[in-house]
Structure 1
Amino acid sequence: MAFADHMEEATAPMEGHSFPHPISTHVIAKPQPLRAALLQWYAGVHEDRGMPWRKPYNASFGPAERAQRAYEVWISEIMLQQTQVATVIPYYNKWIAKFPTIRDLAAADIDTVNSLWKGLGYYSRAARLLAGAKKAVEEFGGRLPDNAESMEAKIPGIGRYSAGAICSIAYNQCVPVVSLYPSLTRVLALHAQPKAKQTSNVLWAAATAMVEGSDKPGDLNQAMIEVGSTVCKVRDPSCSSCPIRPHCRGYQLSTTEKASETAEVPDIEELCTLCESLPHLKGSSSLVTAFPMKAERKKAREELDLVNVVEWRHGDQRWFLLVRRPEGGLLAGLTEFPTSPNASKNISPSESQTVSHTLLSQLLKPRLAPLSNTRRKDPEGGTDLRIIQIKSAGDVVHVFSHIKKTYRVQWIILEGGGDSPPELNLNAPNIVGAQKKAGARTGKPKSSKKSEASTGELPMATWTLLEQVAEANITTGVQKVWRLARTLWDSKSDSE
């Protein structure tokens, strides 16, 4: 029995009940009508949102021109991951102006890449773009591979989705993209665990059936993405204006009214065992929003980090200590203030000060006087490096996708140690050497090679002038920390 016929005899399911249906419900056996509806609609809307990377496929392009299009699509696809189009457009334009070709990107360094990425979040994406560009130049003659299988296998950060999007759009290859999740699950009326392998298999099989044999696979994939972005939205789908509504099995299910008892039950061999029960939304278009099945979200783990905004003063000069995070893991390669991660939630102020003193004693080469020695002036005229103030600035909460971070901020002022910012301890275990940059001071002679070399797992450390801190490659969370710390001295200056 055809799905539409079956729907005429079925009602919207009762709560906790899913009508029996054949597994063929979730198969696109005749993709031509759906394909034609998508392409006709897309032809009229593809320019509406002004995306600079969205260009028609040009069959006259040679290999070099197609490779350039692949590079442009690649950048846009990675930027668009978990980020809205309106946000991405200015970032994309700046990126292409700075790195117009993949070779330009490959020649860059992570600091430059991260500076362009600042504000987009998920910084590992930027690092993988740089790594992928370098690999393309070193191993593929400065071009991305021209097929999805090799692209996914060989280029860091390119998965099945991105490879399908790039190769269908730039190379006109008939490779699938499981586009924005709700639209395809609604077309298939698939109400199954979203992270289950069987669910993924059904979706990829449907996407493959839809694109195979198409003359315009890139347009077709983009059309499905555009429907999901602008019409078939997660919470508020515009079913009345949807170009594929006649082909949407989820919508057909939401508009049936007859009793389910009259529905013909498929043979047990053909019965779908993947779908789970639907909510009770009888005869309501709201049932469409039941697709896809909502995944249980894991509660983000909570962590407390002690963040030290460390200032060294000499005369009118104010220098702040910044460190670079390791090249792997969360916020890889980005800059932050010296931080002690995963502190006890019940840590006391005195314990926080002790932890910070220990961290600074590792990072700084000159001997750091004990915490008890906080005299602003040394009566014996010594030059010992000492902490003259530790002041709490409060907490900053910053939520990542899987971690809820509380940054407990302390403003620490150092004095002494000479006329230059204290030298960094490049030889201590787990300390990474400081790298000289414009506006940064390491206290290490220019002839030293160690200032360029990594000697452990902790990030690179540098002294940076007050007015240049905000321009460093710091994340949104670190910017919050910096603004909070500044309130301590800014408010004091205002009051004076």
Structure 2
Amino acid sequence: MNDASLSGVLCRDSMHNATETEGERAYAVWVSEMMLQQTRVATVISYYQRWMRTWPTVYALAQATQEEVNSVWAGLGYYRRARFLLEGAKKIVEEFGGEFPRTAEELQKVPGIGTYTAGAIASIAFKQVVPVVDGNVIRVLCRLRAISLNPKASTTVKLFWALASQLVEEYRPGDFNQALMELGATICTPTSPSCALCSVSSQCAALKLVHRVEKNVTSVTCFPAKVPKSAPREEYVAVCIIELESQTKMSKAASSLLLVQRPPKGLLAGLWEFPSAPLDNPNSTEKSRLMEMDNYLCDTLGFKIGSGGYTVMKREEFGTYVHVFSHIRLHMFIQWMLLSTGEIEDKSTPKMQRSVVTKWVDLDSMNSLGLTSGVKKVYEMFSALRQKQLTSSKTIKRKRSNLV
């Protein structure tokens, strides 16, 4: 299955459901289209199904918290989409009485709904005669008209929308839009188009140029024009997993980890991560990275190592991990700091400066949190190391007991 077809398949299934309302269909299209942005269908399907089981209507979604939404979305990436879905649901319920706007123009008043998503919802759910233009449609139009312009330039994008507006079918606009996207996804593909199977090949200007053996036009893949991709920038950060081991006189030792909430705007806005200190020097040493983390913990979190009635039992840098975003390669140097409070009357945790939101999370609860894939990978690396050291420690103790 391809990226263009998920929304179509899901929506066709729902269209065959006689009890489904236009609003329910609009909600389904909205969720699927938001998930499909920048994400492969194979990944999206299970997320879509889980989302719709959790929040089957826009009313249900509007009652959710950002934490709950992030938890279901975790691993899908581009978390701003999840935030837009929640904000949009609240706006639809609070300002539109729970009714989806019925036109593409009105739909764009909902947070996160742009021209593409608005066109998809309006044409598929409400049968408004408006186009939908995505990468697949752009490729089809470029080849049909032999357009060799930069497909990402704003003036060229406007041209594509104008062309698509002329083509959209009056009586079944939703089906037409999905068919055009499907054509680009399955037949008129980027590198291996099946021109012999194409239903509009007789009207394809690019194919005619190929048949004429025009200079420099050896394949329809010459269209659209190739735009060089910018290399992702390299960023470096020290990441510290701070584990607090404590116990009371009434219970066994328990461990929790410190998480920090990212700022409300920007990359991964509002999501939880381990304390992270930016590094200016890509060739930093382990010693300098430990110092940078000390400064971050003190200056940003108000957390001074060695004070507060607890002891640093272990501290080491144990690994690196490179997490790739669309525009960033984030190099993470991962540390582990083990703190112990010893035996105390009540379990307590080091206090953090509240200008930055932090929380201590029990180890048993970590897997149920909506962690990003990068944070989850770091946690998995830590868990593997911790388990290895615990196993080694138990083996040593067992050998010693056998000697007694």
Asked if TM exceeds 0.5, the reply is: yes
1:388 matched to 2:346: no
Partner of 2:11: helix, strand, or coil? coil
Q: Paired residue for 1:223?
A: 179
CA contact (8 A) 1:421 1:463 kept: no
Query: In structure 2, which of residues 9, 29, 41 is the aligned counterpart of residue 51 of structure 1?
Result: 9
- Which is richer in strand? 2
Deviation at residue 486 of structure 1 after TM alignment = 2.4
Deviation at residue 100 of structure 1 after TM alignment = 0.9
Q: Paired residue for 2:82?
A: 126
Q: Paired residue for 2:163?
A: 206
CA contact (8 A) 1:395 1:406 kept: yes
CA contact (8 A) 2:313 2:340 kept: yes
Deviation at residue 363 of structure 1 after TM alignment = 6.7
- Percent of aligned pairs with the same amino acid: 39
1:76 matched to 2:3: no
Distance 1:56 1:226, change over 3 A: farther
AA aligned to 1:399 is: V
Q: Paired residue for 1:65?
A: 21
For structure 2, the residue ranges without an aligned partner over 5 or more in a row are 248-252, 396-404
**1:388-467 to 2 correspondences below 5 Å:** 388-416=313-341, 418=344, 419-425=346-352, 428=353, 431=354, 456=355, 458=356, 460-467=357-364
Q: Paired residue for 2:124?
A: 169
CA contact (8 A) 2:26 2:125 kept: yes
AA aligned to 2:369 is: A
Partner of 1:52: helix, strand, or coil? helix
Measured in 1, the distance between the counterparts of 2:227 and 2:303 equals: 53
Deviation at residue 75 of structure 1 after TM alignment = 0.6
Measured in 2, the distance between the counterparts of 1:406 and 1:399 equals: 9
CA contact (8 A) 1:308 1:338 kept: yes
Q: Paired residue for 2:152?
A: 195
CA contact (8 A) 2:245 2:340 kept: yes
Partner of 1:462: helix, strand, or coil? strand
Deviation at residue 360 of structure 1 after TM alignment = 3.0
Distance 1:365 1:171, change over 3 A: same
CA contact (8 A) 1:365 1:422 kept: no
Measured in 2, the distance between the counterparts of 1:240 and 1:309 equals: 57
Q: Paired residue for 2:133?
A: 178
Partner of 1:54: helix, strand, or coil? helix
CA contact (8 A) 2:69 2:86 kept: yes
Measured in 2, the distance between the counterparts of 1:329 and 1:410 equals: 25
Partner of 1:232: helix, strand, or coil? coil
Distance 1:48 1:406, change over 3 A: closer
CA contact (8 A) 2:310 2:341 kept: yes
Count of residue pairs brought into register by the alignment: 381
Distance 1:52 1:72, change over 3 A: same
Query: In structure 1, which of residues 109, 125, 129 is the aligned counterpart of residue 65 of structure 2?
Result: 109
1:338 matched to 2:275: yes
CA contact (8 A) 1:353 1:390 kept: no
**1:452-491 to 2 correspondences below 5 Å:** 456=355, 458=356, 460-491=357-388
Measured in 1, the distance between the counterparts of 2:271 and 2:180 equals: 36
Measured in 1, the distance between the counterparts of 2:129 and 2:294 equals: 60
> Over aligned residues, Cα RMSD in angstroms?
2.6
Measured in 2, the distance between the counterparts of 1:57 and 1:252 equals: 38
**1:271-290 to 2 correspondences below 5 Å:** 280-282=216-218, 287-290=219-222
CA contact (8 A) 1:424 1:461 kept: no
Measured in 2, the distance between the counterparts of 1:193 and 1:99 equals: 40
CA contact (8 A) 2:246 2:254 kept: yes
**1:266-415 to 2 correspondences below 5 Å:** 280-282=216-218, 287-315=219-247, 316-361=253-298, 368-369=305-306, 384-415=309-340
For structure 1, the residue ranges without an aligned partner over 5 or more in a row are 1-45, 261-277, 371-382, 432-455
CA deviation string 1:322-346 (max 9, x = no partner): 1221221111121111111344323
AA aligned to 1:248 is: C
Distance 1:83 1:148, change over 3 A: same
Larger relative contact order, structure 1 or 2 (CA cutoff 8 Å, min sep 6) = 1
CA contact (8 A) 2:7 2:33 kept: no
CA contact (8 A) 2:6 2:41 kept: no
Q: Paired residue for 1:255?
A: 211
Distance 1:349 1:151, change over 3 A: same
Partner of 2:317: helix, strand, or coil? strand
Deviation at residue 48 of structure 1 after TM alignment = 10
Partner of 2:12: helix, strand, or coil? coil
Larger Rg: 1
Distance 1:199 1:83, change over 3 A: same
Q: Paired residue for 1:10?
A: none
CA contact (8 A) 2:5 2:182 kept: no
Measured in 1, the distance between the counterparts of 2:105 and 2:48 equals: 26
1:139 matched to 2:95: yes
Measured in 2, the distance between the counterparts of 1:398 and 1:356 equals: 19
CA deviation string 1:12-60 (max 9, x = no partner): xxxxxxxxxxxxxxxxxxxxxxxxxxxxxxxxxx9999832334768x9
CA contact (8 A) 1:365 1:423 kept: no
Q: Paired residue for 2:400?
A: none
Deviation at residue 144 of structure 1 after TM alignment = 2.0
1:151 matched to 2:96: no
Deviation at residue 161 of structure 1 after TM alignment = 0.7
Measured in 2, the distance between the counterparts of 1:57 and 1:207 equals: 24
Measured in 1, the distance between the counterparts of 2:197 and 2:287 equals: 63
- Which is richer in helix? 2
Query: In structure 1, which of residues 240, 245, 265 is the aligned counterpart of residue 201 of structure 2?
Result: 245
Deviation at residue 215 of structure 1 after TM alignment = 0.6
1:492 matched to 2:394: no
Deviation at residue 489 of structure 1 after TM alignment = 2.0
Measured in 2, the distance between the counterparts of 1:201 and 1:363 equals: 46
Measured in 1, the distance between the counterparts of 2:387 and 2:237 equals: 24
Partner of 2:10: helix, strand, or coil? coil
